[in-house]
């Protein structure tokens, strides 16, 4: 049945039915009330027949081509009324059941030739492909006695990507690097950049090895070389998709947080003129994008990351590092987004990190479940809190022991909780650039 009775019809019919029951003993009244109900049904039938062709109502779904994980994404239902009368509408969208929707049903009153819209939101806690179905529409007849029902074909697949908005929060850092690339404003960074910029007078605190002895001899006073941050360097993110990255923190997995951080680095690096590459791996290498720069590389990174999932198996660091060494010959800052439990459980990672040196500069980033250092600094109030602090201290000790071996080998480490992952990683990347470690 492609129609339902309106509340107006049901009230009118109920009133007639009640009066009929009350007046059953009076023949003339009984027949008059029966006639009333028959006429009401006939009016409803006429209302249905008078209802216009649904093709004159243009209903469509509007949404961005890219949804973001962990945020509210907007979906708009737009209606254009091509009828010659004002029409009341009820809309109900068939959204993907795996998403959480708020306000997907709407009631609209649309005048002739008018367009109205209703916006609702969906929340995604996992990346990947999601399928929207059709749009169910009810619109009232001219007499207001029936709702005519129609299904508008609107099936489509949308992609839920990493949190693009979180990556864009680092636009301040991207702007800083963009100024370097475009020459809009020259920014001098203290440190050990590799590109010579100018000479200036030596001041206390400058490194002796940067003194220009020839210029010093000419001017009769100490002169030092000043460097600027080098551009067009290679940044490669290696993304661990193994067992430890499946654990959830709030509504997202550790892998989701790592992907958001990788995307932040991609935005900042390409804005600063660097080449960005990506390698995802578990037991084998799943995806490899050679380092490149530009907007096209950002789109390629998004497409590579939107459907990546962690597996409940141990990753093969040996295969991943061997693949990178074979396919990435130029020196790069290699950021390994992973997790460590202790020195023994992460022996393979520590053993194969040395294979990147000295060609590359490895930065191992481990993702903590919570801020363990903040936890141990609190004063415990219960026995349970004492126990939690004891466990936290042991975990900190084990992680520091494991990461200490990376530092001894000449690599870099960063151990942060998920809430600070993106911003701390961007800061570390800028520090590496400013110190000229590449």
Domain residue limits, the chain: 3-48, 54-161, 165-170+231-435
Q: How confident is the model at residue 192 (pLDDT cuts 50, 70, 90)?
A: very low
Statement: residue 134 has pLDDT above 90: yes
Statement: residue 273 has pLDDT above 80: yes
**Among 193, 146, 169, 170, residue whose Cα is nearest residue 48:** 146
Give the residue, 395 or 232, on which the prediction is more confident.
232
For tokens 């690096």, the residue is 269
Q: Tokens for 118?
A: 């209703």
Stretch 122-147: mean pLDDT, rounded? 89
pLDDT of residue 371: 54
Stretch 2-24: mean pLDDT, rounded? 78
Stretch 157-178: mean pLDDT, rounded? 69
Whether 206 contacts 241, CB under 8 Å? no
Please write the tens of the pLDDT for every residue from 26-67.
666 667 777 887 888 888 888 888 888 888 889 999 998 788
Distance CA 160, CA 125 (A): 9
Q: How confident is the model at residue 250 (pLDDT cuts 50, 70, 90)?
A: confident
Statement: residue 234 has pLDDT above 90: yes
Please write the tens of the pLDDT for every residue from 347-368.
778 778 888 888 899 999 988 7
Please write the tens of the pLDDT for every residue from 197-223.
678 888 776 777 778 888 888 888 888
The CATH topology of domain 54-161 is: Immunoglobulin-like (2.60.40)
**Among 388, 242, 401, residue whose Cα is nearest residue 315:** 242
pLDDT of residue 197: 63
What is the domain class of 165-170+231-435 according to CATH?
alpha beta
Please write the tens of the pLDDT for every residue from 411-422.
888 888 777 888
Burial of 94 (0-12, 13-18, 19+ CB in 10 A): middle
Distances (CA, A) of 132 to 65, 95, 97: 13, 5, 9
Please write the tens of the pLDDT for every residue from 68-86.
888 889 999 999 998 888 8
**Number of helices followed by number of strands (H, E) in the chain:** 12, 22
pLDDT of residue 204: 76
Q: How confident is the model at residue 385 (pLDDT cuts 50, 70, 90)?
A: confident
Statement: residue 161 has pLDDT above 50: yes
**What is the pTM for the complete model shown?**
0.69
Phi, psi of 237 (to 5 degrees): -100, 125
pLDDT of residue 167: 73
Q: Tokens for 437?
A: 């470690």
Distance CA 345, CA 70 (A): 30
Q: How confident is the model at residue 93 (pLDDT cuts 50, 70, 90)?
A: very high
């Amino acid at each position: 049945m492609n129609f339902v009775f309106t509340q107006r019809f049901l009230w009118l019919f109920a009133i007639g039915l009640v009066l009929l029951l009350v007046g059953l003993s009076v023949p003339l009244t009984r027949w008059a009330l029966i006639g009333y109900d028959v006429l009401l049904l006939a009016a409803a039938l006429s209302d249905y027949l008078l209802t216009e062709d649904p093709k004159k109502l243009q209903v469509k779904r509007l949404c961005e081509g890219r949804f973001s994980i962990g945020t509210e994404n907007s979906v708009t239902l737009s209606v254009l009324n091509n009828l010659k009368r004002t029409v009341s509408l009820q809309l109900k969208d068939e959204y993907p059941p795996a998403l959480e929707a708020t306000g997907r049903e709407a009631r609209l009153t649309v005048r002739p030739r008018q367009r109205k819209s209703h916006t609702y939101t969906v929340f995604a806690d996992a990346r990947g492909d999601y399928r929207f179905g059709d749009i169910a529409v009810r619109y009232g007849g001219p007499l207001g006695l029936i709702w005519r029902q129609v299904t508008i074909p609107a099936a489509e697949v949308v992609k839920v990507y990493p949190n693009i908005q979180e990556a864009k929060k680092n636009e301040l850092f991207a702007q800083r690097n963009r100024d370097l690339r475009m020459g809009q404003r020259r920014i001098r960074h203290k440190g050990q950049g590799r590109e010579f910029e100018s000479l200036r007078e030596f001041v206390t605190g400058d490194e002796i090895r940067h003194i220009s002895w020839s210029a010093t001899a000419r001017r009769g006073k100490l002169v030092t070389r000043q460097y600027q941050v080098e551009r067009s360097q290679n940044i490669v993110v290696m993304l661990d998709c193994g067992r430890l990255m499946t654990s959830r923190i709030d509504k997202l997995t550790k892998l989701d947080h790592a992907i958001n951080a990788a995307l932040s680095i991609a935005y900042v690096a390409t804005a600063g003129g660097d080449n960005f590459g990506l390698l995802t791996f578990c037991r084998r290498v799943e995806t490899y994008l050679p380092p490149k720069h530009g907007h096209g590389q950002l789109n390629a990174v998004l497409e590579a990351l939107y459907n990546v999932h962690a597996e409940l198996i141990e990753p093969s660091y040996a295969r991943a590092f061997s693949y990178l060494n074979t396919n990435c010959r130029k020196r790069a800052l290699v950021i390994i987004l992973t997790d460590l439990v202790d020195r023994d459980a992460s022996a393979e990672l520590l053993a194969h990190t040395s294979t990147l040196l000295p060609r590359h500069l490895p930065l191992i980033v481990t993702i903590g479940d919570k801020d363990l250092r903040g936890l141990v600094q609190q004063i415990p109030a219960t026995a349970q809190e004492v126990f939690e602090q004891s466990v936290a201290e042991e975990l900190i000790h084990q992680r520091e022991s494991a990461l200490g071996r990376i530092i001894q080998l000449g690599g870099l480490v960063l151990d942060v909780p998920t809430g600070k992952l993106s911003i701390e990683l961007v800061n570390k990347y800028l520090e590496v650039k400013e110190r000229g470690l590449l």
